Amino acid sequence: MLNYIWFGMIAISVVAGILTGRIEAVTAEAINMAKTAVEISIGLIGIMALWLGIMKIAEASGLIRIIARGLKPITIRLFPDVPADHPAIGSIVLNMSANVLGLGNAATPLGLKAMEELQELNPKKNTATNAMVMFLAINTSSVQLIVPATVVALMGVAASQIFITTILATTCSTVTAIIMVKVLQKTRRFRLEDES
């Protein structure tokens, strides 16, 4: 679907450029934006490598297990269907830690791993479990205590000005997501069939 959207945007730009006689400007901007995209990507490589390395060290050193034990009272309430010692809890904690640190891109592979492990517990493979829905909601809204690394890389010193608003906005979005998942889980329409 996304491919169709991108193709549509490119086609509209080319057609508009031809109709207005400014196709050269469209071509020049396409090349200019491609150059900008590469510069931004290269600038973010160092930041992502640093934080992914720190997360890997934390995982190998056992720090994640310690954090998981500390967060056990929270994870038991948020994910009651997942056994407390299941590897999915560790992956969920890793993902949440990456999101809290503002490492959205680093959190993606951890989130995929967590979903894969939650799928192992799923009795109906074609239907998301309550734990999967809760994890997706938390992952999508994600509280961020540190301004995202990409924002810091792009904005530099100016990023510090959005620190408090980032914490407030992401806290509100996460609390709302958790409440909505808990409420909708109880409604007849969204309840799993084996619970009714």
The string of pLDDT tens digits covering residues 146-193 is 655 556 555 665 656 666 777 788 889 989 999 999 999 888 877 665
Whether 105 and 95 have beta carbons less than 8 Å apart is answered as no
Q: What is the pTM of this model?
A: 0.64
Tens of pLDDT, residue by residue over 110-130, are 888 889 999 998 888 888 889
How many domains are there within the chain? Answer: 1
For 54, the token pair is 């720190």
How confident is the model over 92-121, as a mean pLDDT? 81
Q: How far is 10 from 125, CA to CA, in rounded Å?
A: 38
Whether 73 and 103 have beta carbons less than 8 Å apart is answered as no
Q: How far is 181 from 101, CA to CA, in rounded Å?
A: 24
In terms of residue numbers, what domain contains 169?
2-195
